[in-house]
Structure 1
Amino acid sequence: MTIIDIDHTSRWFGNVVAVNDVTMRIGPGVTGLLGPNGAGKSTLINMMGGFLAPSTGTVTLDGAPIWRNEQVYKQIGVVPEREAMYDFLTGREFVVANAELHGLDAADAQRALATVEMEYAQDRKISTYSKGMRQRVKMASALVHDPSVLLLDEPFNGMDPRQRMQLMDLLRRMGDEGRTVLFSSHILEEVEQLASHIEVVVAGRHAASGDFRKIRRLMTDRPHRYLIRSSDDRALAAALIADPSTAGIEVDLKEGALRIQAVDFGRFTELLPQVARAHGIRLLTVSPSDESLESVFSYLVAA
């Protein structure tokens, strides 16, 4: 089991603090790294990949420091966001060159190209590639040495829907194999579909960690919002509003439902079925309307 530990780590550039006292643990499976532009995501990935030294704190892989540790580098594959590539090479030549840096040969490069489905364009120059194709050939170069850790910075940028689905399937398979996969993204829908775990950074600080639904439920300072349909919405509303766990109820005539704000999540979830049973009301729909990743992320960024 391969684990990256970031322990009270900061990184600054002159007077600019990019990462501020962050502690997190990235383990096997697929983890999404979220944050607005300038939050410190790329800096964190660069420290995990061994491209940057921490200013303070430590970044380790299975207890070994990552910075300037050649043995650790053999376990890590990095797909950077920046387009620093040799455009005069073909895709195959680029991946072969990366294979040779690891003491591997052309057969390993061919395997990596096949993994990302780039064999059809491997003999074209990188200068002719689309943004999505460049992303995939970077992915092949990161996979050429079969790493146990894969770090990707905005890997879905420039990909068409089919390419995104292929990459999502690949990352999901790698996570299922027990590899440690971390990717940053601003496309919340894809993070929601792909990541079993999220880490959120805001203004260089670690804001939240875990499954986004669990994170939402820990945010007790914000009312939980529900969309509820029942056999008698008005009777249900009258019964619920009398309890202090319910802060507000709105009748949504367009939706034919109640929109409810609950300030005590635990009490409300117990109260709702009890009230319905006591008044002979059938609950037809009970749907949290603010437990999407988009809602949770918006709350955290605005906090």
Structure 2
Amino acid sequence: MSTASTVSATPPAAPPRAQASVELRGVSRWYGNVVAVNDVTMTLNAGVTGLLGPNGAGKTTLLHMMAGFLAPSRGEVLVGDAPAWRNPSVYRHLGLVSEREAVHSFLTGWEFVLASAKLHRLPQPEAAARRAIGLVEMADAQHRRIATYSKGMRQRTRVAAALVHDPQVLLLDEPFNGMDPRQRLHMMDLLHVMGAAGRTILFSSHILEEVEQVSGTVQVIVAGRLAASGDYRHIRRLMTGRPHVFTVSSSDDRALAVALMGQPSVTGVELDGGGLTVRAGDYGAFTRALPMIVRRSGIRLHRLLPADESLESVFSYLVES
């Protein structure tokens, strides 16, 4: 990234108006008998917060209620001390990038962002559009039709349209989808700078590493419930410190089972016809100890597979613990 592009991508300091927070008070949302969000309470203040959870956990429903697109079935959603639902005035200081692409491909990037500026009735829409396009590094391609853009370019153009009115609250649903590594790094830097400038930013993701690189605070949602909340180090410890299950087969499963039972990291071993099922309380300690055990015992290891490493199982542990 050149020095010039870095300078142009630096947003101005936060406006002197009051910083807007987002508050959810006992919020639930259901569709018939299906509960999408269940009794969620959280407060988002200035800075970057990651909304982490597997696909289908309720992240998009939460974001849409914060943006005033959906009414909560129960509870209250406030943006800057005002209700989000049926309150168009919140859009003066709120920007949203939804997961679903809603971009007219026949428009150029410039026309799309300029239209957003005009819809906000900004006094200088052209200047606002230029600034927003510069923030996401799309100036070189702004006069091409969106139909010719890659997915990452379309995503950045949608972010520019959400930033055009310089919002104090920015909500992004899976914003890094389709971006190449350089684009992702630039977008992460941009979110860092805006959060440090006093804006309230929430972005959703199902990838812990994305959240770790961008946000200091993490809200974990699983099956519509708020499962955990805190800084990413705390969430990482909860996830990696959970019990792990491995399927192991070797040249002598019975001897290996006996050797494993003496390890502090192992909480249980089951022997069946297909090998061993090993339960470990410490993932790192077990995976470090196993090679030494088989080497010392003269056992040949045929297979070692984590049996419960699906994303859903990782998040579900947070709900159950």
TM-score normalised to the size of structure 2? 0.70
Contact 2:54 2:312 in 1 (8 A): no
Relative to structure 1, the CA distance from residue 168 to residue 214 in structure 2 (aligned partners, 3 Å threshold; closer, same or farther) is same
Q: Is residue 216–residue 232 contact of structure 2 (8 Å, CA) maintained in 1?
A: no
* Structure 1 residue 11: Cα displacement: 1.0
Report the CA distance between 1:95 and its aligned residue.
0.5
Gaps of 5+ in 2: 1-18, 245-263, 265-280, 294-308
Question: Identity percentage over the alignment?
Answer: 62
One-letter code of the match for 2:214? L
Whether 1:129 aligns to 2:149 is yes
- Which deviates further from its counterpart, 184-193 or 198-207? 184-193
Structure 2 CA distance for partners of 1:133 and 1:23, relative to 1, 3 Å: same
Which of 169, 172, 191 aligns to 2:192? It is 172
Q: Determine if the alignment matches structure 1 residue 84 to structure 2 residue 102.
A: yes
Number of aligned residues = 245
Evaluate the alpha carbon distance shift between residue 133 and residue 217 of structure 1 in structure 2; reply closer, same or farther with a 3 A threshold. Answer: closer
Matched, 1:9 2:27: yes
Q: What secondary structure, in the 3-state scheme, does the structure 2 residue paired with 1:141 have?
A: helix
Distance 1:101 1:64 in 2: 22
Residue 175 of structure 2: aligned partner: 155
2:133 paired residue number: 113
For 2:243 and 2:54, the matched residues in 1 are separated by 24
The one-letter code matched in structure 1 to 2:151 is: K
Distance 1:137 1:151 in 2: 15
CA distances 1:34-70 after superposition (whole Å, capped 9, x unpaired): 1111100000001111111111110001321011212
User: 1:195 Cα deviation (Å)?
Assistant: 0.9
Q: Which residue of 2 aligns with 1:46?
A: 64
More displaced, 103-112 or 37-46? 103-112
* Structure 2 equivalent of residue 25 of structure 1: 43
Asked if the contact 2:54/2:315 (under 8 Å) is kept, the reply is no
**Which amino acid in the other structure matches residue 116 of structure 1?**
V
Q: Cα distance, 1:217 vs. partner?
A: 6.1
User: For residues 42 and 185 of structure 1, do their structure 2 counterparts lie closer, same or farther at Cα, with a shift above 3 Å needed?
Assistant: same
| Equivalences for residues 111-260 of structure 1 within 5 A | 111-215=131-235, 222=242, 252=289
Tell whether the 8 Å contact from 1:88 to 1:127 is kept in structure 2 after alignment: yes
When residues 119 and 57 of structure 1 are mapped into structure 2, their CA distance, relative to the original with a 3 A threshold, is: same
| Counterpart Cα distance in 1 of 2:162 and 2:292 | 48
Amino acid at match of 2:289: D
CA distance, structure 2, for counterparts of residue 255 and residue 176 of structure 1: 47
Q: Is the 8 A contact 1:45 1:153 kept in 2?
A: yes
Shift of 1:253: 7.3
| Aligned amino acid, residue 67 of structure 1 | W
* Distance change in 2, residues 1:198/1:296 (3 Å): farther
Match of 1:276 in 2: none
- Within the alignment, does 1:64 sit opposite 2:79 as a pair? no
Q: Structure 1 pair 217/120, CA: closer, same or farther in 2 (3 Å)?
A: closer
1:226-246 deviations in Å (ceiling 9; x for gaps):
xxxxxxxxxxxxxxx7xxxxx
Cα distance change, pair 255–192 in 1 and its aligned pair in 2 (3 A): farther
Question: 153-162 vs 7-16, which deviates more?
Answer: 7-16
Q: Distance in 1 between matches of 2:187 and 2:236?
A: 28
In the TM superposition, what whole-angstrom CA distance separates every residue of 1:157-200 from its partner, at most 9, and x where no partner exists? Answer: 00000000010000000111011011001232121111100001
CA distance in 2, matches of 1:222, 1:36: 17
Any idea what SS the aligned residue of 1:88 has? coil
Tell me if the contact between 1:4 and 1:25 (Cα under 8 Å) persists in the aligned partners.
yes
Change (3 A) 1:92 1:60: same
In structure 2, distance between residues paired with 1:91 and 1:168: 21
- From the superposition, tell whether residues 253 and 10 of structure 1 become closer, same or farther in structure 2 (CA, over 3 Å): closer
What pairs up with 1:263-302 in 2 under 5 angstroms? Answer: 299-302=314-317
TM-align CA RMSD = 2.7
TM-score normalised by L of structure 1: 0.74
Q: Is the 8 A contact 2:211 2:232 kept in 1?
A: no
CA contact (8 A) 1:36 1:301 kept: no
SS at match of 1:252: helix
The answer (yes or no) to whether the contact 1:66–1:73 under 8 Å persists in 2 is no
The answer as to whether partners of 2:28 and 2:36 remain within 8 angstroms in 1 is: yes
Bigger drift between 144-153 and 8-17 goes to 8-17
Which whole-Å CA distance do the structure 2 matches of 1:157 and 1:187 have between them? 11
